[in-house]
Structure 1
Amino acid sequence: MDNAILLGIMWHLVGAASAACFYAPLKKVKNWSWETMWSVGGIMSWLILPWLVSAILLPEFWRYYASFDLATLLPIFLFGAMWGIGNINYGLTMRYLGMSMGIGIAIGITLVVGTLMTPLLQGRFVELFSSPGGRLTLLGVLVALIGVAVVARAGLLKERAMGIQAEEFNLKKGLMLAVVCGIFSAGMSFAMDAAKPMHEAAAALGIDPLYVALPSYVVIMGGGAIVNLAYCFIRLATKSNLSIKADFSVAKPLLIANVLFALLGGTMWYLQFFFYAWGHANIPAQYDFVSWMLHMSFYVLCGGIVGLVLKEWKSVGRRPVGVLSIGCLVIILAANIVGLGMAQ
C-alpha cells in the first residue's frame, strides 16, 4: 500500500479517536444543563478554533474569504448547516432508540450517503465499477457497513445484559430521526466536496497541503454553529426547567471546572476534523469520497475500543465482547480493502 494512502488512513483514525473521546471531558461537567454545556463546547469547536487556525494559516485573512462569491460560499455554508441538523438529531435518535440501535442505523446511513452520494452526483459512480481499484474500494465500503452493523449488534447485546433501555423508546419516531440524522450528518462530506475551490485557493497561497481544507471550516462549521446554538439558546429561553443564568450561578470553582471541561470537549470535537483534513489530503483525488467512510467507521471502531478501555463492558459477559471484537476486526479489514483499492 502506498505510504501516503496509509498515512491518510492513519490520520483519519486519529481524528475518529478524538471524536470517540470528546465526550469524556463533558461527563465531568456538573450541575449544568446539556444545552449550556453543548453551547460552551460548541463555541470553542465551531467558532473559536476554526477562526483561530485560519487566522494563523492565512497571510491575509479577510482578503481570502472576500475572494469568493456568494455562489461558492452559500452551498458550503448550507451543507454545514445540514451537518448541524444531523448533530442535533443524533442525540434525539439515541433518546428514542438507545445507543446501539441509534448508532447502527444513523451511522450506517450517514456512512453510505456521505460516501457514495458524492461520486453519484458527479457521475463517477459507474466508473468505479469499471476498474479493479474502484470495485475494491466499493467492497471496502460495504465491509465497513457490515462492521458498523456488527458493532451495533454487540452494543445491543450489552444493553440487554445490563438492563439498559432507551430513555423514551419509540421505534417509529426513533427510526424517522435516525434516517434524518444519517442523511443530514453527511452534510460534512458534501461541504468538503463543495469547498474544493477554497482548498485550491489556500494551496495557491502556499499553504501546506495538510492544512488547505482548514480555512473552509470557518464557513462549514459556521453553518453548523448557527443551527446548534439556535437550538440550544431557544430551549434555554423557552423551557421553564432550563436557565443559563442558573447554570452560571454555581460556585466559582465548579463554574471554572465546568467551563474548562466543556472547552476541552469542544477542542477534541474540533480536532476530529482537523485530522480529517490531514487524512483527506493524503487520499488520492479520485477516491476522496472514501474519507467520510473511513472517518465514520473508525469513529465506531474507536468508540468500541474506548468502551473496553474504560471497562464499560466489564460485566456484560463474553458474547457481547466477542461480537464487538469481531465488528472491530471487520472495520479494520474494511480500511485495508479500501486502502488496497486506492493503491490500484
Structure 2
Amino acid sequence: MSEAIVSGIMWHLVGAASAACFYAPFKKVRNWSWETMWSVGGIMSWILLPWAVSAILLPNFWAYYSSFSLSQLMPVFLFGAMWGIGNINYGLTMRYLGMSMGIGIAIGITLVVGTLMTPLIQGRFVELFSSAGGRMTLLGVLVALVGVAIVSRAGLLKERAMGITAEEFNLKKGLVLAVLCGIFSAGMSFAMDAARPMHEAAAALGIDPLYVALPSYVVIMGGGALVNLGFCFIRLATQANLSVKADFSVVKSVLIANVALSLLGGTMWYLQFFFYAWGHARIPAQYDFVSWMLHMSFYVLCGGLVGLILKEWNNVGRKPVGVLSVGCFVIILAANIVGMGMVS
C-alpha cells in the first residue's frame, strides 16, 4: 500500500477521532439550553473557522469566491444545507431510537448513500466492477457496513445491560428520522464532489494539496449553518421554555465556562472536516468516493474506543465489550481492504 494512501486513511482516522470527541465539552455546559449551546459552537465551527482558515490560505479572499458563478456555488451550498438537515435529524433519531439503534441505522444509511451515490451519479459505478481494485474497494465498503452494524449491536447490548432506554422511544417515528438522517447527512459527500472546481481553483493558486478543499467549506458549511442556526434561532424565539436572555444571565464564571466549552466543542467539530480534507487529498481521484466511507466507519470505531477509554463500558459484562471489539476489528479490516483495492 502506497505511503500516500496510508497517510490518507490515517488522516481520515484523525478527523473521525475529533468527531467522536467533539461533544465531550458540550456535556460540561451548565444551565444553558441545547439551542444556545449548539448555536455558539456552530458559529465557531460553521462560520468563524472556515472563514478564518480560508482568509489565511487564499491570496485574495473575495477574488477567489467571486470567480465562481452562482450556478457553480449553489449546488455546493445546497448540498451543505442538505447535510445540515441531516445533522438536525441525527439528534432527533437518538431521541426516539436511542444511541445504538439510531447510530446503527443512520450511520449505516449515510455510509452507503454518501459513498456509492457519487460514482453512481457520475456513471462510474459499473466501471468499478470491471477492475479487481474496484471490486475490492466495494468489498471494503460492504465490510465497513458490517462493522458498523456489529458496533451498533454492541452498543445495544450495553444499553440493555445498563437499563438505558431512548428518551421518548418511538420506533415508527425514529425509523423515518433515521432514514432521513442517513440520506441527508450524505450531503457532505455530495458537496465535496460538487466543489471540485473550487478545489482545482485553489490548487491553481498554489495552495498545498492538503488544503485545497478547505476554502470550499465557507460555502458548504454556510449551507449547514443556515439550516442549523435557523432551526435553533426559531426555537429560541418561539418556545416559551427557552430564553437566550436567561441563558446569558447565569453567573459570570458559568457564562465564561459555557462559552469556552461551546467554542471548544465547535473547534473540535470543525477539525473533523479539516483532517477529512487532508485525507481526501491523499486518496486517488478514481477512488475519492471512499473518503466518506472511511470517515463514517472510523467515526463509529473511534466512538467505541473513546467510550472504552472513558470507562463507559465498565460493569456491562464481557459480551458487549467482546462484540464491540469484533466490530472495531471488522472496521479496521474494511479500511485495509479499501486501501489494498486502491493500489490494485
Q: Counterpart of 1:241? A: 241
Deviations 1:122-176 (A, max 9, x none): 0000000000000000000000000000000000000000000000000000000
Give the counterpart letter for 1:200 in structure 2.
Answer: E
For residues 159 and 235 of structure 2, what CA distance do their matches in structure 1 show? 30
Q: Mind listing any 5+ residue stretches in structure 1 that lack a counterpart? A: none
Q: Partner of 2:7 in structure 1?
A: 7
Structure 1 segments (4+ residues) deviating >3 Å: none
CA distance in 2, matches of 1:110, 1:315: 32
| Alignment partners' CA distance in 2, 1:317 and 1:23 | 26
Which digits, 9 at most, give the CA deviation of each residue in 1:182-234, with x for residues without a partner? 00000000000000000000000000000000000000000000000000000
Amino acid paired to 1:33? S
1:265-310 CA deviation, whole Å, 9 max, x = no partner?
0000000000000000000000000000000000000000000000
- Structure 2: which amino acid aligns with 1:9? I
SS in 1 for 2:332: helix
Distance 2:215 2:316 in 1: 45
Structure-2 separation of matches of 1:221 and 1:121: 23
The residue type paired with residue 207 of structure 1 is: I
Aligned to 1:110: 110
1:317 corresponding residue in structure 2:
317
Using the size of structure 1 for normalisation, the TM-score is 1.00
Q: Which residue of 2 aligns with 1:52?
A: 52
2:99 equivalent in structure 1: 99
Quick one: distance in 1 between partners of 2:343 and 2:46?
34
CA distance in 2, matches of 1:198, 1:159: 44
Residue in 2 that maps onto 1:283: 283
Q: Secondary structure at the match of 2:258?
A: helix
The amino acid of 1:257's aligned partner reads A
Letter of the 1:219 counterpart? V
Task: Tell me the distance in 1 between the aligned counterparts of 2:3 and 2:132.
Answer: 20
Q: Which amino acid is 1:238 matched to? A: T
Residue 146 of structure 1 aligns to which amino acid in structure 2?
Answer: V
SS in 2 for 1:108: helix
Q: Distance in 1 between matches of 2:228 and 2:51?
A: 18
Structure 2 residue aligned with 1:216: 216
Distance in 2 separating the partners of 1:73 and 1:289: 20
d(CA) in 2 for partners of 1:170, 1:26: 26
| AA aligned opposite 1:215 | P
Q: Which residue matches 2:139?
A: 139
Match of 2:230 in 1: 230
Kindly provide the amino acid, as one letter, of the partner of residue 64 in structure 1.
Answer: Y
CA distance in 2, matches of 1:161, 1:243: 37
1:257 aligns with 2:289: no
CA RMSD of aligned residues (A): 0.3
Task: Provide the residue aligned with 1:327 in structure 2.
Answer: 327
Amino acid at match of 1:129: F
Where does residue 21 of structure 1 map in the other structure? Answer: 21
**Residue identity (%):** 85
Cα separation, 1, equivalents of 2:108 and 2:269:
20
> Does structure 1 residue 171 correspond to structure 2 residue 171?
yes
Mapped to 1, the partners of 2:191 and 2:245 lie a distance apart of 35
Structure 1 segment 174-185 matched on structure 2, within 5 A: 174-185=174-185
* Distance in 1 separating the partners of 2:57 and 2:180: 35
Q: Quick one: distance in 2 between partners of 1:200 and 1:290?
A: 20
Matched position secondary structure for 2:207: coil
Alpha-carbon deviation of 1:342? 0.4
The one-letter amino acid of 1:151's match is: V
In structure 2, list runs of 5 or more residues that go unmatched: none
> What is the aligned length?
344
Distance 1:78 1:329 in 2: 36
Query: Which residue of structure 2 lines up, in the alignment, with residue 343 of structure 1?
Result: 343
Whole-angstrom CA distance in 1 between matches of 2:343 and 2:5: 7
CA distance, structure 2, for counterparts of residue 190 and residue 271 of structure 1: 19
The equivalent residue for 2:128 is: 128
Distance 2:181 2:47 in 1: 22
In 1, Cα distance between equivalents of 2:312 and 2:141: 28
Residues 235-282 of structure 1: per-residue CA shift (max 9 Å, x gap)? 011111110110000000110000000000000000000000000000
Cα distance in 2, alignment partners of residues 244 and 328 from structure 1? 41
Residue equivalent to 1:270: 270
1:315 Cα deviation after fit = 1.1
